[in-house]
């Protein structure tokens, strides 16, 4: 993996259909996240149909961007901790156990949003990621995600 590869480009096909981050979901956001030093970055351009109040993005969009940015960050952080390539096996797959979002200011819909994440904790199967969302350099939302490695019996 090179520095500019997106984490999500390395997700195996069977977990690449997520609405937020799956590259194989034509209706989804298909976010792309990369490392920037110890932070992770996603840039996303909201669409007009993501409107809440006219001119501003729907909070659910912001929450889902934080969600998938953070689960991607969790996976990448585990690979980085083990010094492994994201294509290597066994794959780390993370799902969201907890998603907390504080909406600090309205997020304009007509400009790209930048989501930056930092790993706060890695403990066993759990990774805690804190994120900040900015539009035009202005902090508009903060998030915290508890991501947990998907158990073999997920959904059973
Ligand atoms: C590269 C390919 C990528 C591919 C990835 C592609 C998929 C992208 C997914 C995108 C994000 C989603 O939308 S995922 C979909 C939405 N999420 C879900 O459907 C998940 C539903 N929930 C579950 O299945 C389960 O609750 C799990 C798996 C999350 C956790 O259950 P578990 O496996 O039994 O975990 P458990 O042992 O209890 O807990 C492990 C640790 O996590 C903590 N923990 C557990 N739940 C919580 C919680 N709600 N809030 C805080 N902390 C929690 C525990 O305290 C413990 O910490 P400690 O005591 O060790 O400190």
Q: What's the confidence (pLDDT) of residue 90?
A: 87
Q: What's the confidence (pLDDT) of residue 7?
A: 96
154 lines ligand 1 (CB under 6 A): yes
**Strand pairing category for 138-149 and 33-36:** unpaired
CATH code, 7-149:
3.10.129.10
Kindly report, residue by residue over 20-35, the tens digit of the pLDDT: 999 999 999 999 999 9
Under-70 pLDDT residues of the chain: 1-4
Distance 107 CA to ligand 1 centre (A): 28
Instruction: Say what the ipTM of the complex is.
Output: 0.96
By alpha-carbon position, which residue is closest to atom 9 of ligand 1? Answer: 95
């Amino acid at each position: 993996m090179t520095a500019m590869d997106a984490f999500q480009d390395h997700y195996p096909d069977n977990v690449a259909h997520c609405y937020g981050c799956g590259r194989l979901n034509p209706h989804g956001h298909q976010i792309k996240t990369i490392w920037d030093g110890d932070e992770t970055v996603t840039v996303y351009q909201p669409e007009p149909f993501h409107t809440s109040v006219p001119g501003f993005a729907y909070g659910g969009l912001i929450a889902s961007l934080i969600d998938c940015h953070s689960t991607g960050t969790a996976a990448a952080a585990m690979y980085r901790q083990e010094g492994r390539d994201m294509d290597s096996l066994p794959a780390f797959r993370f799902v969201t156990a907890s998603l907390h979002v504080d909406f600090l200011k309205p997020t304009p819909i007509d400009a790209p949003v930048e989501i930056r994440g930092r790993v706060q904790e890695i403990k066993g199967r759990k990774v805690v990621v804190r994120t900040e969302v900015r539009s035009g350099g202005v902090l508009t939302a903060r998030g915290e995600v508890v991501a947990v490695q998907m158990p073999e019996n997920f959904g059973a």
